[in-house]
Amino acid sequence: MSTLDLVIRRAHVVTATDDTRCDIGVAGGRIVALGESLPRAAREIDAGGRLVLPGGVDGHCHLDQPMPAPMKMADDFASGTRSAACGGTTTVIPFAAQAKGESLAAAVADYHRRAEGKACIDYAFHLIVSDPTPTVLAEELPRLIRDGYTSFKIYMTYDDLKLSDREILEVMDLARREGAMVMVHAENSDAIAWLTEKLLAAGRSAPAYHAAARPAPVEREATHRAITLAELVDVPILIVHVSGGEAIEQIRWAQGRGLNIYAETCPQYLMLTAEHLGGPGFHGAKCVCSPPPRDKASQRQVWEGLANGTFHVVSSDHAPFRYDDPQGKRLGGKEVAFPHIPNGIPGLETRLPVLFSEGVVKGRIDLHRFVALTATNPARLYGLYPRKGTIAVGSDADLVVWDETRHAVIRNDLLHHAVDYTPYEGIEVTVWPALTLSRGAVVWEDGTFRGTAGSGRFLTCGLPEPARGRRVAARIWE
């Protein structure tokens, strides 16, 4: 065995499939041994029988994404990854977003500049494809996929991002040929525009009406349409940020037909309801995100979907806008009408403790499923497994020692993002990471951030597992 840099002793190691008590040997930032009584290393950590899980992989978060002025995201790669590390996440996959009329390669180059020297944990990029021109489809995207950008998000709503059904078919067809993963934001754009116009005409402009402008059928219809388009093309897709039972029904229907439909949800759909958008004054703006949180019944349906395997991933969809800020929710310094409130809520740091406390501790999901949903599956779906998302010989030493005795009340001033609020203020969690290691280096220890901006590395992604080894039969149009 090579000389060990670090041994974590007496670890209770739980992965998506296994449950073992052993020592973990680390050399060169990777796990090189799992065993009993490993030899002494330069550095020793005694886990004391505590749980050691793979570091979280947050497969959906937004950091320093260019926005139309005066909107600006509060977190860049420094504050965003710091916050992630303090909450037990060791890999993030934010989005290099193409603006309409812009080359995708230029968007990627710009996003690398934004990340350069800032991240304290490893990161990969998804792409956002908003303008699938013939050049993008024939040249840029295939090249980027081969260079390790193997997943991309497409939108069915938002005027500056949305694709037509025809464009969606083109992008899905390319993903099928190249083996990439398409993530779909499923909401019916025209229905939202129509409802929004009606609500504003009736003088209903407060944050609460954001939810009324995007009711469940808007998401259900688009989810069904995305599934149908993917079926026509014969390509796996992942429906992101699924909010409740209506969209879940479509996904289960598709899965029951044997279609390769993957699904993601987020803590906001487990913890919040549309009532949070109706908070006092303008405070409901803090919970404005799309799709909006729904009701208690929807929360139960999402929990059921996590337990029964409908969902594969729980991500944060961290979209960090400050509340009391002219670049954030009070856009331009005003209490703007709901269509102008920047969409998104922060959640990188709270994703794992909230899901662990509410899901595992309360007996709604088991620990293996927790690990699968938050680390292993996103690593598999985005071509990072087994380097990330598990504890195995050869994997990066991205590890979290969990403190299951830590009862804490979430308060924004305890968090490490650059946002001035958390939607989870006052919620009690019963676990928190005691120690987070990124490739063997401590980034969070007993309540103190110990990471270094710039130590995080960019990860090129392999092909997503659903595409690997998949026989891509020529389609009738080929």
Residue 230 vs residues 146, 168, 429: alpha-carbon distances, Å: 22, 9, 39
Starting at the edge strand that comes first in sequence, how are the strands of the sheet with 261-265 ordered? 95-97, 126-128, 151-155, 181-185, 237-239, 261-265, 313-314
Q: What is the smallest separation between the CB atom of 252 and ligand DUC, expressed in angstroms?
A: 22
Q: What is the smallest separation between the CB atom of 456 and Zn ion, expressed in angstroms?
A: 20
| Structural contact between residues 57 and 374, judged by C-beta atoms closer than 8 angstroms | yes
Query: Who contacts 377 (Cβ-Cβ below 8 Å, separation ≥6)?
Result: 16, 312, 313, 389
The secondary structure of the chain in percent helix, strand, coil, rounded to multiples of 5, reads: 35, 20, 45
Comparing CB distances to ligand DUC, the nearer of 287 and 397 is: 287
Backbone CA torsion sign across 40, 398, 453, 411: negative
Q: Which does 343 bind (CB under 5 to 8 A by kind): Zn ion, ligand DUC, none?
A: ligand DUC
* 348 alpha carbon, distance to own chain's centre: 8
Comparing CB distances to ligand DUC, the nearer of 22 and 61 is: 61
Q: Which position among 173, 317, 349, 358 is part of the footprint of Zn ion (CB under 5 A)?
A: 317
Residue nearest to Zn ion (CB): 185
Query: Who contacts 90 (Cβ-Cβ below 8 Å, separation ≥6)?
Result: 55, 56, 57, 84, 121, 122, 388, 398, 399, 400, 436, 437, 438, 443
Can you tell me the distance from the alpha carbon of 84 to that of 415, in angstroms, rounded to the nearest whole number?
10
- SS3 of residue 221 by DSSP: helix
φ, ψ (nearest 5 deg) of residue 233: -80, -25
The span of 45-53, 230-238, 310-318, 379-387 binding Zn ion (CB under 5 A) equals 310-318
Q: What is the smallest separation between the CB atom of 288 and ligand DUC, expressed in angstroms?
A: 7
CA-only gyration radius of the chain, Å? 21
Comparing CB distances to ligand DUC, the nearer of 344 and 464 is: 344
Q: What is the smallest separation between the CB atom of 316 and Zn ion, expressed in angstroms?
A: 9
Q: What is the smallest separation between the CB atom of 392 and Zn ion, expressed in angstroms?
A: 30
Residue ranges that bind ligand DUC, judged by CB under 6 A: 62, 185, 289-290, 317, 319, 343-344
Look at the block and give the residue holding tokens 């996929």.
145
Comparing CB distances to ligand DUC, the nearer of 141 and 319 is: 319
Q: What is the smallest separation between the CB atom of 183 and Zn ion, expressed in angstroms?
A: 8
The span of 72-80, 185-193, 206-214, 386-394 binding Zn ion (CB under 5 A) equals 185-193
Number of residues that bind Zn ion (CB under 5 A): 2
Q: Which position among 126, 176, 185, 416 is part of the footprint of Zn ion (CB under 5 A)?
A: 185
Q: Which does 210 bind (CB under 5 to 8 A by kind): ligand DUC, Zn ion, none?
A: none
Give Dmax over CA atoms of the chain in angstroms. 72
Comparing CB distances to Zn ion, the nearer of 185 and 214 is: 185
Comparing CB distances to ligand DUC, the nearer of 185 and 312 is: 185
Q: What is the smallest separation between the CB atom of 345 and Zn ion, expressed in angstroms?
A: 10
Comparing CB distances to ligand DUC, the nearer of 193 and 392 is: 193
Q: Which does 289 bind (CB under 5 to 8 A by kind): ligand DUC, Zn ion, none?
A: ligand DUC
According to DSSP H, which parts of 179-324 are helical? Answer: 189-201, 209-213, 216-233, 245-256, 268-271, 296-307
Q: What is the smallest separation between the CB atom of 344 and ligand DUC, expressed in angstroms?
A: 3
Please give the full DSSP string across 424-435, using - where no structure is assigned. Answer: TTT-EES-EEEE
Per CB under 5 A, 170 contacts Zn ion: no
Residues that bind Zn ion in the complex, under the rule CB under 5 A? 185, 317
